[in-house]
Amino acid sequence: MDKILMVTRPKYDDGTEYLSYYASLILKEANKLNIIYKDFPGKQANSREICKYLKKKNPKLIFINGHGNVDSLEGDKGEIIFSVDKNIGLLKNKLVYARACHAAINFGKKMVYGNEGCFIGYFTPFSFWMDSRHSAIPSKDNLAKLFLEPSNEIVSFLMKGNNPKISDKKSKKMMIDNIKKILVMEEKKEPGATRWLEVLWNNFEGQKVIGNEYLSF
* pLDDT, tens digit, 9 for 90 and up, residues 148-183: 999 999 999 999 999 999 999 999 999 999 999 999
Specify the pLDDT at position 134: 67
Q: Stretch 79-92: mean pLDDT, rounded?
A: 98
* pLDDT, tens digit, 9 for 90 and up, residues 17-68: 999 999 999 999 999 999 999 999 999 999 999 999 999 999 999 999 999 9
DSSP character at residue 217 = -
Query: What's phi and psi for 88, nearest 5 deg?
Result: -65, -30
Q: Which H or E element spans position 119?
A: strand 118-122
What does the mean pLDDT of the chain come to? 96
Q: Give the global pTM.
A: 0.96
Compute, in degrees rounded to 10, the torsion defined by CA atoms 203, 72, 41, 144.
Answer: -20
Specify the pLDDT at position 128: 97
One-letter amino acid identity for 9?
A: R
Sign (positive or negative) of CA dihedral 21, 204, 206, 160? positive
The span from the CA of 93 to the CA of 131, in Å, is 39
Specify the pLDDT at position 135: 67
Of 112, 109, 23, 129, the C-alpha closest to 66 is 23
One-letter amino acid identity for 104?
A: A
- The string of DSSP codes covering 6-50 is EEEE--SSHHHHHHHHHHHHHHHHHHHTT-EEEEEEGGG-SHHHH
Of 146, 153, 150, the C-alpha closest to 192 is 146
Bridge partners of 4? 36
Domain limits of the chain? 2-211
The domain defined by 2-211 folds into Rossmann fold (3.40.50)
